[in-house]
Amino acid sequence: MNVTNICCIGAGYVGGPTMAVIALKCPQIKVTVVDVNQQRIDAWNSADLDQLPIYEPGLKEVVEEARGRNLFFSTNVDKAIDEAQMIFMAVNTPTKSYGEGKGFAADLTFVEKCARQIAEVSNTDKIVIEKSTLPVRTAEKIKEVLSSNTKGVNFEVLSNPEFLAEGTAIQDLFKSDRVLVGGDNTESGNAAVAALVSIYSNWIPQEKILTTNVWSSELSKLASNAMLAQRISSINSLSALCEETGADIEEVSKAIGMDSRIGSKFLKASVGFGGSCFQKDILNLVYLCRHYGLDEVAEYWYQVIKINNYQKNRFAKKIITGLNGTVNQKKVTLLGWAFKKDTNDSRESAAIYVADILLEEGAELHIYDPMVKATRIHQDLTTLWEARNESKDEIAYKLKRCIVHQNHTTALDSSFAAAIVTEWDEFKSYDWNTIADNMMQPAKVFDGRNIVKDTEEYKFKLKKVGSSNVKNSSNERKEKAI
C-alpha cells in the first residue's frame, strides 16, 4: 500500500511531536492530528509558536516548516478517520482509578472509544496502529471492537510503540535507536508492516527498524521503561547507603558506569523519577504478572516503585530535618516542577510529592519553574488531594500557601531553604552566593539533582543526594578554625 494520508487520534506528548516529524520527513503524505480538545488544537494552530501546548526543543521549528503544507491539526475526528489510510492511536492510557486492577492496570477506556469510533466511521480498509503504551494483547481487544464494522472494511492492527524521552523527543525521532513495528504474520499483516516501515525508511536506516509479532512489540515497550526505571531506583537506593557510610554516590556511579557491561546511562542519583510512563508502565507490568500468577516477578518490579517513593519521601524529610526538624510557617523554595528539564510535562513529577509533604508540615511553599505555569502546578496538587478525598476547604487552605513565581529571585528571597527538584540548566548558572545573601541565615540548599558545583567559597550549606557531608559555609569554617 502506498500511504498518502495519515490520521493521528490524540494531540498530546506522543501524537503531536511524532506526527510533526513524520510530516516533515514525508512531505508527500498528508498528516492530520485530531483531538476532541478544542483548546489544545487551537494551541497547535496558534500563529505564535511559543504557544504550542507542548514544549520540546526543536518542536516549533518542525511545526513551522510542515504545518499548513502537509501537517494539519483539527477537531473533525470523523473526517480525518474517513479520509486516512493509516490511523495512529495516541490516546491517554492512565492507571485505573476504579474497579478491577485499580491502582495498577492500564485504563483502556479511551483506547476502546477510539477503536469504536474508527469502526463506525470507516468506509475503506485501514491500517490501525497502537502508538500509546498498552498492555500485552491489547491488539486482540482492538480487533474485536473493529470487527463491529458492518461495511466489509478490513482492519490491520499494528503495534508501533514510542521510545521518546521528553526533553529530547525531536532528536529521538530524528535519530531513533530503533523503530519497533509489530504485526500479524499473514499476507495482509505483512503488507501493513511493510507500509509502515516504508514511511520510517524515509529517514531511519533500515537496520534500525525492527519487526516483530504484535505481542513482542507491546511487551517490549513496558519492559524498556521498567528496565530504565529499575536503574534509577537502583542508584537511588545506593545513594541512601552512601549518605550513611561516607561514600559519594557520584564517585560510585562513575565507577559502576565505567564497566562496559553496565554503562553510565541512567545512573544519576536524584530525588526520584517522574513522568507519565515509568510508574504507569511498571504498575501495569506488575498487574500483568499477578494476572498470570507470576507473583514473585510482580513483587520484583513493584520494588522499583517502592524505592522511588522512598527516595521522594526521604528527600522531603531531609529538608525538614535540615531546618531544625520543622518547616512550619517557614518559607521554603522549590526550584523546578517539571519531572525533568527541557519539558513542561509535570505528570508524576517528584516535585508534586515533595511539595505535598512540605505543605502538610506547614511550610509556606514558593515555587519557580521556567516552563510550567501556575495553573498546572495548582492542578497537579489539587488532583493529588482530590484523589485522597480531601475537602475543598483543606485544598484551598494549602493552595494559599503554595505561591508560584515568574522568576527565581523573588522565589528565593528570605527563604529558609532552596530545594532543587528539576535539573534545569539555568539553575546551574545561578550566582548561588548572591542568592544565599538574600536568604534567611544560615542559607541552605538541598540539591535533589546534584547540579550545584562544590566550591570552597560558598555562603550556604549544601546537601546533595548521596553525599554524607552537609557543606559548611566559609564563615562557619572560619569560626570553627578560631
Specify whether 197 is located in the same domain as 281. no
Same domain, 197 and 308: no
| 336 neighbors 369 (Cβ within 8 angstroms) | yes
- Clarify whether residues 197 and 235 are in a common domain: no
Q: 427 with 472, same domain?
A: yes
Number of domains in the chain: 2
207 plus 226 within the same structural domain: no
Spatial separation of the C-alpha atoms in residues 200 and 22, rounded to whole Å: 8
Instruction: For residue 445, list its beta bridge partners.
Output: 418, 462
Return phi, psi of residue 375, to 5°.
-60, -40
Alpha-helix residue ranges (DSSP H) falling in 323-470: 350-360, 374-387, 392-400, 408-412, 425-428, 432-437
Which residue, of 184, 212, 240, is where some domain finishes?
212
Looking at this protein, which amino acid is placed at residue 432? W
Report the pLDDT value the prediction gives residue 137, as an integer from 0 to 100.
81
Residues 6+ apart with CB under 8 A from 395: 381, 382, 385, 386
d(CA 206, CA 204): 6
180 and 272 in a single domain? The answer is no
pTM: 0.89
191, 212, 233 - which closes a domain:
212
Residues 204 and 287 in one domain: no
The reported pLDDT for the residue numbered 458 is 83
pLDDT digits over 257-314, tens only?
Answer: 999 999 999 999 999 999 989 999 999 999 999 999 999 999 999 999 999 999 999 9
Q: Determine the Cα–Cα distance for residues 93 and 232; give it in Å rounded to an integer.
A: 23
- Biggest CA-to-CA distance, the chain: 90
Residues 207 and 229 reside in one and the same domain: no
Q: What is the total residue count of the chain?
A: 482
- Angle (CA) 317-281-156 rounded to 5° is 165
Measured CA to CA, the distance from residue 253 to residue 263 in angstroms comes to: 10
Q: Which domain holds residue 344?
A: 221-482
Q: Are residues 413 and 313 in the same domain?
A: yes
Regions of the chain where pLDDT drops below 70: 456, 469-482
Residue that finishes a domain, picked among 187, 212, 237: 212
Query: How many C-beta neighbours within 10 Å does residue 104 have?
Result: 22
Q: How far apart are CA 392 and CA 353, in angstroms?
A: 19
Same domain, 473 and 411: yes
SS3 content of the chain, % helix, strand, coil (to 5): 45, 15, 40
Per the CB < 8 A criterion, the answer to whether 274 and 340 are in contact is yes
Question: What pLDDT does 477 receive?
Answer: 41
On the 0-12 / 13-18 / 19+ scale of CB atoms within 10 A, 357 is: middle
Asked if residue 382 lies in contact with residue 399, where contact means CB atoms within 8 angstroms, the answer is yes
Q: Determine the pLDDT at residue 469.
A: 58
Q: Give the pLDDT score at 453.
A: 87
Query: 366 and 333 in contact (C-beta within 8 Å)?
Result: yes
Residue 102 maps to which CATH number?
3.40.50.720
DSSP code, position 419 = E
Q: Which residues are catalytic?
A: 162, 221, 277
* Cα separation values, 82 from 10, 120, 123, 150, 304, Å: 16, 10, 7, 15, 43
| Alpha carbon distance 440, 415 (integer Å) | 6
Count other Cβ atoms within 10 Å, centred on residue 367: 23
Q: Locate cell 528539576: which residue?
A: 422
Containing 313, the helix (H) or strand (E) segment is: helix 295-322
> pLDDT tens digit string along 171-206?
999 999 999 999 999 999 999 999 999 999 999 999
Q: Which residues of 386-398 are buried (b: 16+ CB within 10 A; e: fewer)?
A: eeeeeeeeebeeb
Amino acid identity, residue 174?
F
233 and 199, same domain (yes or no): no
Same-domain status, 192 and 291: no
